[in-house]
Structures are given as C-alpha cells and as structure tokens.
Amino acid sequence: MATYQIRVARSGSDGATDSFTVELDHRMTVLDALFLIQREQDPTLSFRCSCRVGMCGTCAMRINWQPRLACQTRVLTLKADTIVVEPLAHLPVMKDLVVAMDPFFEQWKRVKPALHPDPKRDPKKLAVVPPTSEFGKQAQGKRDCITCGACYAACGIVGSNEEYLGPAAINKAMLRLMDPRDNAVDERLEELNDENGVWRCHTQFNCVAACPKGINLTDSIMKMKRSLLFPKKFHDKRNFVDNP
C-alpha cells in the first residue's frame, strides 16, 4: 500500500482541479482509484467505464498528460506519487472526466466504417484471407481498434483542425479498403484524399504513443498516402488477399 495524490480535473468552475489523497495497493489501477474517491470521498465525481478489462474503450482519459485507458493503467507504472487525471483533449467535456465522443464519431462516419458488401458477390461464400497475405498481415493488429478516442485526443493536428479525419478513422478505412467483401472503394478514397483527410497527418506519432492497443496508426496513414499514388489497386481486392 502506498499513498497517492490524485488530482482530478472538475468541470464545475473554470479549470479547477480537486486533490484527493488515497491509499492504493500497487496492483490497483487509476480506475480503481477513481472508484475509491467516488465511494469514500466525493460521490459527485463523474467518469465513465464499463468493461474494466480494456476491451470497450469507454474509460479513456488523460492520465499524467497522456491519453490512456484508466482501467489498464496501474498506478505503479506511472512512477509518480501525484497522478493528474483530466478528460480527453479535443472533445467537449460533459462533466468532470466524461466527454462527448461526437466529434470523433463524426469523422469515423465519414469513411463509412460499416461493411458495404458487393451486391454481385454471393454473401454465402466466405472470404478467404490467408494470414500471409497483405490484408491478413495488416488485419493482425490493426483491427483491434476499440474506438476509445485516445489517438484523436493525442493528435496535435486535431487540436488546430477539427475537420481532420483522425488516426482511427483512417486505420478503419484502410482495413475496409483491403477487405475482399467490401465494395465502397471510391467513396472512402475520396474522403481519404480530401484536403482534411490523410494529407493532414504530419507523422507526430502521438497517436502511436497513445494507442492503448498498440496499433501502429502512423503506419496505416502512411500506407494510405502511398496507396493514393496508385488508387486503382483497391478495385481488385485480389491484390490484398492473394498469397505472395
């Protein structure tokens, strides 16, 4: 057990933070600390969480100036006695640590994240994606995105240009463009090739540092930039699912 000072950003008055002193076991996470504060010290503290195992992406918040999942951040790993907990940047704060995810999902919707199946394709026929193919390799880690918004909050470009697609949306668009079952190629390419699409990425790598699932988002964005030199290859999905 160790004593930690938790400074939580509150939405009441402008820019105010409340300090709480809590006793935490070294195995406990920031989310556990927030629950402890809510139960024992200040029941008005607001935050969001649901799965507590890092698979829902609900509890993303800025912990010690870095967007992280509160349920996956053990207090010990922060190597600090004072832990600063703030809501995600670039998203409107609703209360305390709760933010509205609307700006993030507005950009997410722009790239048509859902599957748009090819009407000519027999839906009963399963798509075969060998793990050694291009799509197989890309999908390995990059489909793990849980839309927590950490990359969007970490991105410096979003701070000055809220019309930028954001790393998560581009990553999703790349996976859909390579998907052999999907047909909405031109619409997605148009959004990606927009002035506020992939061209706004200046490889700050902030999204890669922030992603709690360890997705190399910059790699996805750079792949899309290079692919836009030869956009026709997305019309033949065999380019991505054939074994090399």
Pairing of strands 93-95, 17-24: unpaired
Q: Name the token pair of 101.
A: 């995810």
Residue 122 or 195 having the CB closest to another protein: 195
- Give yes or no for residue 55 binding another protein (CB under 8 A): no
Least distance from C-beta 51 to another protein, angstroms?
Answer: 25
Pairwise CA distance, residues 14 & 107, whole Å:
28
Least gap, CB of 2 to another protein (angstroms): 24
How many angstroms separate the CA atoms of 100 and 103, rounded?
A: 8
The smaller minimum CB distance to another protein, of residues 28 and 138, is found at 138
Distances (CA, A) of 48 to 76, 172, 208: 22, 24, 23
Q: Is 219 in the site for another protein (CB under 8 A)?
A: yes
| Footprint (CB under 8 A) of another protein, residues 157-196 | 157, 159-164, 193, 195-196
Residue 143: alpha-carbon gap to chain centroid? 11
Structure tokens that stand for 108 in this block: 């997410």
**Minimum distance from CB of 217 to another protein (Å)?**
10
State how far the Cα of 177 lies from the Cα of 200, in Å rounded to an integer. Answer: 20
Nearest distance in Å: CB 84, another protein? 9
Can residue 65 be called a binding residue for another protein (CB under 8 A)?
A: yes
Decide: residue 13, CB within 10 A, 0-12 exposed, 13-18 middle, 19+ buried.
Answer: exposed
User: Rounded to whole angstroms, how far apart are CA atoms 13 and 198?
Assistant: 37
- Tokens 């994606």 found at: 129
What 3-state DSSP class applies to 83?
strand
Candidate ranges 29-37, 52-60, 134-142, 214-222; the one touching another protein (CB under 8 A): 214-222
How many residues sit close enough to another protein to count as binding (CB under 8 A)? 36
Which of 206, 212, 213, 237 binds another protein (CB under 8 A)? It is: 206
Q: Is 202 in the site for another protein (CB under 8 A)?
A: yes
Is 89 one of the binding residues for another protein (CB under 8 A)? yes
Which residue from 40, 41, 205, 235 is in contact with another protein, where contact means CB under 8 A? 205
Interface residues with another protein (CB under 8 A) are: 15, 65-66, 89, 154, 156-157, 159-164, 193, 195-196, 199-200, 202-206, 208-210, 216, 218-219, 222-223, 225-226, 228-229, 231
